Amino acid sequence: MLSDFANVLIFLIVGCVLVLISVLLSRLLHKRVPTDGKYVPYECGEDSVGDTRIKFNLRFYIIALVFLIFDVEIALLFPWGRIFKQLGLLAFIEMLIFVAILLVGLAYVWGKGDLEWVKTFGRIENESETNDTRET
């Protein structure tokens, strides 16, 4: 068993050494020519129009994060589903707790309204309510 771990450790060390060598060689051998053009974003050979920094909507981040969490859940459920009969009742209860925790998180995000694509902020007053208050 120790020899199996040693093979993995040697592989990791060799990989890290190769990365370090390539980074050091690229720093030593490349030409340093600072120009203003290097700080301009490249857009398929076209000149940039307007500001290239845009505000990224956080709804995409929330949706991607929820997707990633449930994607990892599926990746853990498939191997467990293959052998859960051999694992016994304790493993089944552990997986139920795992899924329940994820469902509580999903209910929280859903209840908070972060999964709705178009959110309404604040209270929208009815036109008849505003007319009634203006008359008095």
Determine the average pLDDT of the residues in 111-119: 81
Cβ-Cβ contacts under 8 Å for 76 (sequence gap 6 or more):
98
On average, the pLDDT of the chain sits at 81
In a domain, 64, yes or no: yes
In a domain, 128, yes or no: no
Domain that holds residue 9: 1-31
25 lies in the same domain as 63: no
Contacts for 68-75 with beta carbons within 8 Å, 24 or more apart?
69/102, 69/105, 70/102, 70/106, 73/98, 73/99, 73/102
pLDDT score recorded for residue 97: 94
What pLDDT, in 10s, does the model give residues 19-60?
999 999 999 998 877 787 777 766 676 666 766 667 777 788
Which alpha helices (H) appear in the chain, and where do they start and end? 2-29, 58-87, 89-112, 127-135
DSSP code for 39: G
In a domain, 40, yes or no: no
pLDDT score recorded for residue 113: 84
Q: Does pTM surpass 0.85?
A: no
> Domain tally for the chain?
2
pLDDT score recorded for residue 128: 53
Q: What is the Rg, in whole angstroms, of the alpha carbon atoms belonging to the chain? A: 28
Report the alpha-carbon distance of residue 49 to residue 47 in Å, rounded.
6
Instruction: Say yes or no to pLDDT of 99 above 80.
Output: yes
Report the alpha-carbon distance of residue 114 to residue 119 in Å, rounded.
8
Instruction: Say yes or no to pLDDT of 69 above 60.
Output: yes
- What percent of the chain stands above pLDDT 90? 26
**Paired tokens of 4:** 């199996």
Report the alpha-carbon distance of residue 73 to residue 54 in Å, rounded.
33
Instruction: Say yes or no to pLDDT of 122 above 80.
Output: no
